[in-house]
Amino acid sequence: MASGDFHLHSTASDGVNSPTWVVERAAANGVRALALTDHDTTEGLREAAEAAARLGLRLIPGVEISTEVGKADVHLLGYGFDPGARRLQEFFRWQREGRLARVEKIVAILREHGMALETRRIFEIAGEATVGRPHVARALLEKGYVASVQEAFDLWLGNGKPADVNREKLDPKDAIAIIHENGGVVFIAHPTYMGDDYVEKIRLLRRLGADGIETYYKHYAAEIVAGLASLAKELGVAASGGSDYHGLGNPDDRDIGDISFPDECVDAFLGFIDAQCACSAIEVPA
Ligand code: AMP
Ligand code: ZN
Ligand code: FE
Ligand code: FE
């Protein structure tokens, strides 16, 4: 188990477990420092910060933002920004609104394929959270149209599948700029998901201002990690690690902290955050 995990989802977006549960699980697994990186929201931070303070864990402000380069999904992780910044919160709200319209489109496509989902039910499942494809998957499962959340992605919702609807394209340059303007740094999430040319895309994102690479991701094999670590070194950027825990129970999923992220690399990442960020840990008033 690693001492740090900086890619985690909760019920504030499309994770299954509450922020408190996520922090408690992290502590039980031996994690000492973490970041909640819900999609387009910091709504889980306050609750997570209270749990982290109670258990003596360090919590770094975090968020995951979806952008696009060409046809490839490029997910960015923001860390250490000022979560109270108004412009940043407006940006997150705008991103979340884009997700609402997208769910309507996904539901329309699924209806064309004979699956009668109610948009209302999906929003009910999501509750206050940032709505995403996993909520649609759960609605499909509930109605018996698929046998599992994974099957919903494999047949309908996954990248390139019939009901995979893109939101309005966000340029990574703009996402990077807004995180930088608000005191944070930006890491490239699960880099291999960007496609076969992910090394070129990493170089491009570096030119656009990305500060680091999520090198120790979930189930990455040692060769992938070694390649990303040497690329980070060559480009002079930092390396992070995370499990991308959602609690959905998909086949490749890892438990919180169950990643091969060496302690010295966790420390190097934390040192980078300390040196670069406006808000390198969240303090909760006593
Ligand atoms: P969204 O933010 O709505 O695009 O949904 C992205 C989330 O869907 C990711 O964080 C994953 O949890 C999940 N997801 C995306 N693609 C797949 C897939 N092929 N299989 C399982 N889960 C997926
Ligand atoms: Zn997610
Ligand atoms: Fe992602
Ligand atoms: Fe994620």
Digit-coded pLDDT (tens) for 32-88: 999 999 999 999 999 999 999 999 999 999 999 999 999 899 999 999 999 999 999
Indicate whether residue 62 lines ligand 1 (CB < 6 A): no
- Nearest Cα neighbor of 133 from 13, 244, 216, 249 is 13
Indicate whether residue 250 lines ligand 1 (CB < 6 A): yes
Indicate whether residue 242 lines ligand 1 (CB < 6 A): no
The beta strand positions in 28-172, using DSSP E, are 33-36, 58-60, 62-69, 72-79
pLDDT in tens, 199-248: 999 999 999 999 999 999 999 999 999 999 999 999 999 999 999 999 99
Please check the confidence at residue 147 and state whether its pLDDT lies above 60.
Answer: yes
- Average pLDDT on 1-29 reads 98
- Average pLDDT on 83-94 reads 97
Pairing status of strand 185-188 against strand 72-79: antiparallel
Cβ contacts of 80 within 8 Å, gap of 6 or more: 60, 61, 183, 184, 185, 273, 276, 277, 278, 279, 280
Indicate whether residue 134 lines ligand 1 (CB < 6 A): yes
Distances (CA, A) of 277 to 73, 166, 221, 255, 273: 26, 31, 30, 28, 5
- How far is ligand 4, taken at its centre, from the CA of residue 7, in Å? 6
pLDDT in tens, 183-212: 999 999 999 999 999 999 999 999 999 999
Please check the confidence at residue 120 and state whether its pLDDT lies above 70.
Answer: yes
What values do phi and psi take at 183, rounded to 5? 85, 10
pLDDT at 286: 57
- How far is ligand 2, taken at its centre, from the CA of residue 13, in Å? 7
Q: State whether residue 80 is helix, strand or coil.
A: coil
**Ligand 1 atom 19: residue of nearest CA:** 158
pLDDT at 284: 75
- How far is ligand 3, taken at its centre, from the CA of residue 185, in Å? 17
Task: Return mean pLDDT, the chain.
Answer: 96
- How far is ligand 3, taken at its centre, from the CA of residue 286, in Å? 33
**Ligand 1 atom 1: residue of nearest CA:** 132
- How far is ligand 1, taken at its centre, from the CA of residue 285, in Å? 35
Please check the confidence at residue 102 and state whether its pLDDT lies above 80.
Answer: yes
Indicate whether residue 153 lines ligand 1 (CB < 6 A): yes
